[in-house]
Amino acid sequence: MSVTVDRPVVSPLPFSGLRHNWTRDEIGALLALPLPELIFQAQVAHRTHFDPTAVQISTLLSIKTGGCPEDCGYCPQSASAETAVSASKLMDIEPVLQAATRARDAGATRFCMGAAWRSPKDRDLERVVEMVEGVKSLGLETCVTLGMLRPEQARRLKTAGLDYYNHNLDTSPEFYGDIISTRTYQDRLDTLAAVRDAGISVCCGGIIGMGEGQEDRAGLLETLANLDPHPESVPINALVKVRGTRLEDAAPLDPIDFVRMIAVARITMPASFVRLSAGRESLSDEAQALCFLAGANSVFYGDTLLTTRNPAVERDHELFEKLGLTRVA
């Protein structure tokens, strides 16, 4: 006895070109595809633009931790969260450069620095500028995430040689207010515009597992995929539940849902690096292998991501060897 199953209809995709006119319905249909078909489409997109066995390695350092005035429901660095993370001052330059040297020697090609600010004061920005210049002198790409930027601050970072600025959208415009109330979605888009206008590459993605629905996941990808140009790096984060944050009791995330987000990010932004970011510690080797098959080609490397755990470097070495993956030089 045969069984007929209705499948979402998705038009063939022009992998040779980039689109900036994705609809939410199209993205929702991709997210709903049978997994073998979704992985196939993601593989075609990936192989059109990248070596499917190569992975770009980034390392992230918190240069100023805790005490952030924002109320992001997922973040242990928020001043409103009841966590063990205490506020610290901006790091001195020498320890930052030592950390960058260790990251480079371990195989990282990009060094990212994060500060828990709503937006940087100009005097603090000048110290970050010195860090950027120092890290660049080590032969690494540079990335910072400092909160909201004014256009002149973005231009100052560009002059210092900054390669990437990270500023995530987190979720869909509709669900955003359930997670954050202290800055608007438009605030985030304005910072992205200032960064892009300054000539800095954009690193922008989001978080899943915060209680959002499938429509919100499609909405996040719709917004990202319709930025013109696409973000050069797209970090996909799985919520790391931290006791004392508003989202500490969020429902567990199905790893296959995470894989689907990676695959649709790859299909809709085929020339971007798609990065496995926060939450990778909770993924099995098998789940990570599916993510790489779905088009992920970048990871954060190192035992800590700002204030949360990340897979040990030795585990990553073993996984890359097992899967036959090579690091981008």
Encoded tokens for 140? 């690494």
Q: Which residue from 103, 94, 89 is spatially nearest to 61, judged by alpha carbons?
A: 103
Cα-Cα end-to-end distance for the chain: 54
Q: Which of 68, 156, 204, 266 is catalytic?
A: 68
The yes-or-no answer on residue 143 being catalytic is yes
| Strand-pair category, 110-115 with 54-64 | parallel
Task: Single out the catalytic residue among 110, 143, 183, 260.
Answer: 143
Mark whether 275 is an active-site residue: yes
Annotated catalytic residue, options 127, 183, 188, 275: 275
List 127, 203, 204, 291, catalytic entry: 203
Q: Alpha-carbon distance 219 to 141, whole Å?
A: 30
> Around Cβ 26, how many Cβ atoms within 10 Å?
22
DSSP letter for each residue of 189-204 = HHHHHHHHHTTPEEE-
Query: What is each CA distance from 80 to 68, 77, 107, 155, in whole angstroms?
Result: 8, 8, 37, 32
Element at 126 (helix H, strand E): helix 122-137
204 is annotated as an active-site residue: no
State yes or no: is 72 an active-site residue: yes
Determine which one of 19, 47, 75, 156 is catalytic.
75
Q: H helices of 32-184, where?
A: 35-49, 93-105, 122-137, 151-160
75 has catalytic annotation:
yes
Catalytic residues: 68, 72, 75, 112, 143, 203, 275
